[in-house]
Structure 1
């Protein structure tokens, strides 16, 4: 069963399609054939601006976690054989500091519905009974509805596809590496080695995801990670230790 056949979700899908189509029309005189791609970038920027308060909360939470890292490491050593006690003491520590270990997840959770809706727009050839014209719109000759892995498996990937997706994935990976270097845990905090390795790997998961989703969703991911890096660098200067 297709969830977007349900009336409420079908309506959201049609509204999203209509909004992107209208914005693309507005941008066409400036962006030309890349108007739909430009519309996705604009929508992403609007979403990220709306989530600035969430980003500020996340930055504050990161500062709290950095400050608590040595105490968390002590708890892990003290209660390493008692997982239940460790979890209880960890939550108590966060509660005493008026913080949450899950605050960093807020931006991802807040964006999830929009990412899912954008993904769905570029998966459905027919929306509300009419053909999805956005699927035929392109960025430098590559349809916004195409995915790298799909085009490779079907043998339809050409030079333009390789260049556009290659550039997109490389850009996301570069931003991931810059993020990893800028926000790697301080060894002085005694962060667990496993956690440090996982944090480093997590920065590149988005680049891998971009190979499987439509080009439109990949554009959203690129703008999002670039915005997030810039915002975190700015907030690190603005928010006091």
Structure 2
């Protein structure tokens, strides 16, 4: 996706510069820490979009009783129901699609960050971020390759297992507010991380942790206010 080449290159330079600043941590740890720091900075810049999304969700929650009443009253007349719902949203200054726009606006930024940590090359050159290690485990290696080569209980594999445990903990926290089959959806990050480079796994952990904390705060202060 050549459209993302320039943003990915910019993100690579940003992470590299941050790793240089954190160089006192050591070669590998500074890169891993830089991934977390840059992820937090990027997600922090997206907070206004998350707030707009939460406000849209609050509007939908607030209108649910009225929407249910209209559906009970005009459920057999789809055209009338559609007109009544449109009138309701117009009267309340809300929209059934409120919050979707902010969510979509975040996706290109997150896609750039994700691609940075799964790409072997950036702007035609080797992705040097993946050449570093974390606790002796290459940031460019995935768990499937490590476990298949060194064994499940080898030190590099244990680094991944620790990452999986942290991802599972975040997934459990996130799933508490979901219902039905959706409760299992957050745990998909653990499965995905097994096939991703360690650098992408670190990014995934930082990003999902931010998302879980952000949703918890916004849900309490905006959606359920």
Pairwise TM-score range, normalised by the shorter structure = 0.7 to 0.9
Deviation digits for residues 41-62 of structure 1, max 9, x if unmatched?
A: 0111111111111222222223
What is the Cα deviation at residue 16 of structure 1? 2.4
Deviation digits for residues 113-153 of structure 1, max 9, x if unmatched?
A: 2333233333443434433221211222222222334555x
Partner in structure 2 of residue 99 of structure 1: 94
Q: Distance between the aligned counterparts of 1:102 and 1:211, measured in 2?
A: 35
What is the Cα deviation at residue 198 of structure 1? 4.2
* 1:138 and 2:133 aligned: yes
Whether contact under 8 Å (2:175, 2:186) holds in the other structure is yes
For residues 89-238 of structure 1, the aligned pairs below 5 Å read: 93-106=88-101, 108-149=103-144, 151=146, 155-156=148-149, 158=151, 159-181=154-176, 183-184=177-178, 196-238=179-221
**Match for 2:39 among 38, 41, 44?**
44
For residues 77-92 of structure 1, the aligned pairs below 5 Å read: none
What is the Cα deviation at residue 237 of structure 1? 4.2
Whether contact under 8 Å (1:31, 1:38) holds in the other structure is no
Deviation digits for residues 12-68 of structure 1, max 9, x if unmatched?
A: 333222222222111111354211111110111111111111222222223223233
Q: Which runs of 5+ in 2 are unaligned?
A: none
Whether contact under 8 Å (1:13, 1:117) holds in the other structure is yes
Call closer, same or farther: CA 1:135–1:236 in 2, change over 3 Å: closer
Q: Distance between the aligned counterparts of 1:147 and 1:19, measured in 2?
A: 23
Whether contact under 8 Å (2:56, 2:99) holds in the other structure is yes
Whether contact under 8 Å (2:70, 2:84) holds in the other structure is yes
TM-score (norm: length of structure 2): 0.77
Provide the aligned C-alpha RMSD in A: 3.2
Whether contact under 8 Å (2:142, 2:198) holds in the other structure is yes
TM-score (norm: length of structure 1): 0.73
Q: Distance between the aligned counterparts of 2:95 and 2:145, measured in 1?
A: 40
Q: Which runs of 5+ in 1 are unaligned?
A: 185-195
* 1:64 and 2:59 aligned: yes
Query: In structure 1, the residue corresponding to 2:22 is in which secondary structure?
Result: helix
